[in-house]
Amino acid sequence: MIQQIISAIKSEYKLIFRNHGVLLVLIFAPLIYAVLYSSAYAKQVATKIPIAVIDNSNSHSSRELIELFNASPYIDVRYEAEDMFAAKRLLFDGKIYGIVFIPHQYAESEIEKKQRWISAYFDASYFLMYRQVLQGVAGAISSIQTIQPGVRLQTHTLFNPALGYGTFIMPAVLLVILQQTALMGIGMVGAIERRLRRKTTPPTAALLGKFIAYGTIYAPLCAYIFAIHYHIFGYPENGTLWNCLVVMVSYMTAVIALAIALSTLFRRVETPLIAIIWSSIPILLLSGASLPTEVFAKWLHTIGLLLPSSSGVPAYIRAQSMGADISELIPELVRLWALTALYTMVAKYKISERFASPGYPLS
Amino acid sequence: MISMFKVFVDQLRRILHDRVYISLLTILPAISLLFFVCFFSDVSIESLPIVVVDNDHSATSRELVEMINATASVDVRYSAQSVHESQTIITSGRAYAVVVIPHNFERSILRQEPCSIILYNSGANISTNGFIEKDLQRVATTFNAAISLERGENLAQILPVQFEQHILFNAELDYAAYLAPCFMPMMIMIFSLLGSVMAVTDCKIGSVRELLTRCLPTTIAMILFAVLMLVLLFVWLKIPLNGSVWVIIIATILLIADYQAIGVSLAALTKNRDLAISLGGGYSVLAFTFSGLTFPTMAMFPILRFSSYLFPFTYYMTIMVEQALRGAAIEISLPNIGCMLLFLLLPMVIYKRL
């Protein structure tokens, strides 16, 4: 039995390492994507977003306000427009993302000890820009306060203090990339194996051999991505090694199980690529990492639970970004192991079927 | 002409005999578009669960909690006795924020002493963070205004400068209007590329005309899906269409053509169907990041910002945002249409060199 498992592992390695297409998808793609995406989001926040100010007051007070805007890290008064027409032109040309209009009675209001009103126009076609321009303008204005309000809202941003975009999305993206490339790469191996119609080892040994083979490939790959790559790009590392390992092992086992099960269906090498590549964004959305699960249809989320990523992504984010404990991750972990059991049974069944069918000589 | 007709029929035959090929021109695009319609049909950032730690237990604190609960984004689903207790609710994924009301809240207000409400807002999800912050801030401001009114205070002292906020182009901050016009065309784009790779690999291509004819079924299928997509976007999902639908239609057709051009070029360069599919698929999925929709290209390192220009999808998204959301004049989108046209030259360049 042990011999059979070892020979299964060896033949799996051969299939993987002798085929450049498989190597590309299984090992190089996750690494390349990890670097590309992380590098794109490396700056994490947008700073000094250009806005335009229409200063109809042209007074000491208004200049003071413009100074405050410029002092904000979020915005930069790149243009002082003559009027709304000119400002709107800049907006539509994509040169600015916000317009602040200071009316001519701005300084007079200050002298008369009345509230000074300005108008702010925010471009909400790009949400990140909108949020940061709003923060810049609101922040500058609130710094003019002379007296403390009765009730002050003191905000502490947990887990991602700078609200960095990379920190927000990359943990989920990395996990989904691993799942998708596993489904595609292992799927390709399945198709090649089917085409070769080689002598197969008994189902249990074959299955175990595959699990171990892919386990040995993903262990260093995941270790690199979630320990080294993570660290290089400064993503939050608030979880204990043990908790993160438990989640990672649970997740990748379920992913490999699903991949092996699916791989039994493919007859041609291009099929897994075509069948799976388009689903990456839907799967990322279903994981609840970009838009929370409360926000979209529950039935869609429930169907998505058939995928390891829908449980693995939230579990890992809570473990690593929030420092959650295993006891707080039980539902997700249970789901992952249930999926592993389910897909392993399917894989076992499909492999046994092929093993028993004519045309496959027994060793 | 007749020979091209024969080639076309032959290509149709190739497609119909190939389950995978048929799927990528029919079922898969349909499923992908359907997914996004289902996902974005009812997307609204509402009733996000939060925890309240009310250390005051007074009429005033209860009033504050009422106000918080009344906001659209937030739902006070849990109450906890301490911050420590509330922490596990967050890390279990059951809530997104904790609001702590200090124990001398009512007393401070009656004594006209300043006090703070603390908001621990999870930054793990930027979207939820923004909405919760916005609504809590509004509650605090409204509460303060009410207190000031009661005390007869001069608002100008507390809030010397106020701004009137106008949110342009996506006034309700609708995520469907923000993301659907991006994700749905991406699906058309991916299948255009895959379809063209399938068309020109594993067969002999004699001339440019033959190449175009073999790609034609993919083009037709994708244009049909594009029409469906536009109807789903602007009629079913009611995404705003403030500008020119014709510019969007032309841009979408160019998107299909561009990605077929890229598919054909990849096939010529690699001379290997599987490799072309891998590379093409990989390149397509990257298009989202480099379009700059969610994270602006101006915040990327120069070399990456430059590479965003190497994706036709980047120009397409700019046109989409300009025409659908912003209602910009047609002239503004013309340069981007021009750039999209340039990509059609790519196969010519590749074939010249081979």
pLDDT, averaged per 10 consecutive residues of chain B (354 residues), comes to 86 94 96 97 91 94 94 94 93 96 92 91 95 92 84 76 92 94 97 95 84 94 97 96 96 97 93 94 94 94 95 96 94 95 90 67
Mean pLDDT in residue range A261-279: 95
Is residue B227 a contact partner of residue B256, using CB atoms and an 8 Å limit? no
- Chain B contact for A19 (CB, 8 A cutoff): no
Question: Which structure tokens are listed for B156?
Answer: 């100008």
Beta pairing class for B115-122 and B97-101: antiparallel
pLDDT, mean over chain A: 92
The answer, yes or no, to whether residue A308 has pLDDT greater than 60, is: yes
Helical residues (DSSP H) of chain A, grouped into ranges? 2-17, 20-23, 29-40, 60-71, 84-92, 106-111, 127-142, 165-196, 203-223, 230-232, 241-263, 270-277, 280-286, 298-304, 308-316, 330-356
Least confident of A140-144, A322-326, B7-11: A140-144
Q: How far is it, in rounded angstroms, from Cα B144 to Cα B162?
A: 14
CA distance B251 to chain A (A): 18
Kindly state the tokens that stand for A12. Answer: 């799996």
User: What average pLDDT score do residues A316-333 get?
Assistant: 96
- Other CB atoms within a 10 A radius of the CB of residue A108 amount to 14
Q: Could you write out the DSSP letters of every residue in B8-40?
A: HHHHHHHHHT-HHHHHHHTHHHHHHHHHHHHHH
**pLDDT at residue A200 tops 60:** yes
Interface contact A154-B116, CB threshold 8 A: yes
pLDDT surpasses 80 at A27: yes
A46 token code pair:
């947008």
d(CA B90, CA A325): 11
> Distance between CA atoms of B156 and A273, rounded to whole angstroms?
63
Query: Hey, what long-range contacts does A58-64 have (CB within 8 A, 24 or more apart)?
Result: A59/A106, A59/A107, A60/A107, A61/A106, A61/A107, A61/A110, A61/A116, A62/A102, A62/A106, A62/A107
- pLDDT at position B157, please? 73
Mean pLDDT over residues A262-268, rounded? Answer: 94
CA B330 to chain centre: 23
pLDDT at A198: 63
Task: Report the SS3 class of residue B152.
Answer: coil
Give the torsion through C-alpha atoms of B58, B63, B69, B73, to 10 deg.
-120
Instruction: Give the global pTM.
Output: 0.94
Q: How many CB pairs under 8 A join A and B?
A: 309
325-344 in chain B: CB under 8 A from chain A: 325-326, 328-329, 332
CA distance A78 to chain B (A): 14
Between CA A266 and CA A345 the distance in angstroms is 18
Q: Which residues pair with B98 in a beta bridge?
A: B51, B120
SS3 (DSSP) at A297? coil
B286 within 8 A of B189, measured Cβ to Cβ: no
Q: What is the distance between the alpha carbons of residues B221 and B94, in angstroms, rounded to a whole number?
A: 44
Q: What pLDDT score does A28 carry?
A: 96
Is residue A362 scored above 60 in pLDDT?
Answer: no
Residues within 8 A of A (CB atoms), B 22-81 only: 23-24, 28, 32, 35-36, 38-49
Residue contact B127–A274, C-beta within 8 A: no
8 Å CB contact between B76 and B28: no
Q: Is the pLDDT of residue A360 over 60?
A: no
**Interchain contact, B91 vs A121, CB within 8 Å:** no
Residues in Cβ contact with A31 at an 8 Å cutoff, skipping those fewer than 6 apart: A221, A224, A225
φ and ψ of A118, to 5 deg: -125, 165
Please determine, for residue A146, whether its predicted confidence score (pLDDT) is greater than 70.
Answer: no
- Which residues in chain A have their CB less than 8 angstroms from residue B183's CB? 281
The amino acid at residue B165 is: Q
pLDDT of B264 reads: 94
Q: Would you give the distance in Å from CA A36 to the centre of its chain? A: 13
Q: Please state, in angstroms and as integers, the Cα–Cα distance from residue B288 to each residue in A24, A275, B293, following that order.
A: 21, 19, 8
Compute and round to an integer the Cα radius of gyration of chain A. 28
Distance from CA of A208 to the nearest CA of B (A): 28
Mean pLDDT of A1-22: 91
- Check A153 against B183: CB less than 8 A apart: no
Task: Kindly report the nearest CA distance between residue A129 and chain B, in angstroms.
Answer: 8
Q: What is the pLDDT of residues A202-259, one digit of tens each?
A: 889 999 999 999 999 999 999 999 999 999 999 999 999 999 999 999 999 999 999 9
Could you list the beta-strand ranges (E) of chain B: 48-54, 74-79, 97-101, 115-122, 161-168
Which tokens is A221 given? 């790959």
Per-residue pLDDT at B1: 67
Token pair 């972990």: residue: A333
Q: How confident is the model at residue A285 (pLDDT cuts 50, 70, 90)?
A: very high
Quick check: B57 and B79 in contact, CB under 8 A? no
User: B150 in contact with A at a CB cutoff of 8 Å?
Assistant: no
pLDDT at residue A363, rounded to an integer: 41
Task: Please answer yes or no on whether A318 and B116 come within 8 Å at the CB atom.
Answer: no
- Between CA A317 and CA A247 the distance in angstroms is 10
Of B124, B129, B183, the CB nearest to A321: B124
Average pLDDT over residues A265-272: 94
Please report, in angstroms and rounded to a whole number, the separation of the first and last CA atoms in chain A: 13
Return the closest-CA partner of residue A127 out of B46, B175, B242.
B175
Sign of CA dihedral B74, B77, B80, B85: negative
How high is the pLDDT of residue A322?
Answer: 95
Instruction: Answer whether A10 touches B (CB < 8 Å).
Output: no
Å from A322 to nearest chain B CA?
A: 6
Cβ atoms of B280 and B193 closer than 8 Å: yes
Cβ distance of A151 and B155 shorter than 8 Å: no
Q: CA-to-CA distance for B89 and B96, rounded, in angstroms? A: 9
| Neighbour count for residue A167 (Cβ, 10 Å) | 23
| Closest by Cα among A231, A115, A67, A40 to B304 | A40
For residue B284, the model assigns a pLDDT of: 94
Distance CA A209, CA A3 (A): 10
